[in-house]
Amino acid sequence: MYTMLANVNGCSMLPDGRMVFTCSHWGKIKVFRIDGSEEFEMKNIGPLYDVVSIGNDTLVITSESEEKINVKSHSFGAALFNDNCLCYCAGKLGIQEIYLKEEFINNVISTEMSPHVYLAILHNTIYYTDMKTHSVTCIGTSCTAAGEHPYWTKWTFKDENVLKSPNGIAVDSIGSAYVSGSASCNVVVISNNGLFHKELLSKEDGLTHPGALHYDRSTNKLLVANSYDYAYLYNVNN
């Protein structure tokens, strides 16, 4: 579909099949119907990054500007633990979680992160990309009675011959990670143990500096957005 957007940093699919894109260049959000036609847009919101949907009528958007919920950090990629808990990259503060109703913030990982990190979550496992190091990391987490989050690295994938400047990331129901390579202009799927990978999409499929992507686990559809103008929706056969 032709999005007519520049610097698309985030995309998501609503339960009813509609698609949402954030445009940091013009500070707007666009929503498209399942047939690819534009439904509406919201303008002059500010610098936008990732977007996460909660049901058909609620969007959570990360931004570096002042927000309704002040997280006191530069926030980029985000993913939901559940309908009330959002996990996001907080740059120097690491990875944090925020309880949306209570507006309570908790540290998950206190290690400083690259400014441009995207996240995906499956159960108690967090996957994140790092464009600076050209790597994808999978970590396991748990929660103690004191609210602390011990974590451990399960695997790290790094192969610049396959994936350069990994950007958006999404995870299917069995833990396979789908990652867009902005510099390698492709989408690579990595097995849930990090040992195997396969290039799914490339320049030949129309990808030009792909950024955001989203995997709908209920329909096995993969939404991939180029940084400029075009986005593509695929059916995935697991």
Q: Which of 29-38, 105-114, 194-203 has the highest mean pLDDT?
A: 194-203
Residue 200 has pLDDT above 60, yes or no: yes
180 or 145, greater pLDDT: 180
Q: For the segment 71-89, what is each residue's pLDDT rounded down to a tens digit? A: 344 444 555 555 567 778 7
Q: What is the pLDDT of residues 60-72, one digit of tens each?
A: 777 765 444 333 4
CA-to-CA dists, residue 26 to 36, 72, 231, angstroms: 21, 23, 17
- Two tokens, residue 26: 């013009």
What is the pTM assigned to this prediction?
Answer: 0.87
pLDDT for 2 beyond 50:
yes
Residue 19, number of CB atoms within 10 A of its CB = 25
The residue type of 185 is: C
pLDDT of residue 46: 74
Domains (range + CATH), the chain: 2-235 (2.120.10.30)
pLDDT tens digits, one per residue of 30-47:
999 999 999 998 887 777
Q: What is the mean pLDDT of residues 5-30?
A: 90
CA gap 178, 92 in Å, rounded: 25
Write out pLDDT tens, residues 123-144. Answer: 889 999 999 999 999 999 876 5
Report the first-to-last Cα separation within the chain, whole angstroms. 24
Q: At a CB cut-off of 8 Å and minimum separation 6, what does 68 contact?
A: none
pLDDT at 236: 93
Residue 12 — very low, low, confident or very high, per pLDDT cuts 50/70/90?
very high
Average pLDDT over residues 209-222: 95
CA geometry: angle 57, 86, 12, nearest 5 deg:
45
Question: In the 3-class helix/strand/coil scheme, how is 18-41 assigned residue by residue?
Answer: CEEEEECCCCEEEEECCCCCEEEE
pLDDT computed for residue 69 by the predictor: 39
The whole-chain average pLDDT of the chain stands at 85
- What band does 148 get if pLDDT is binned at 50, 70 and 90? low
For the chain, count helices (H), then strands (E). Answer: 0, 22
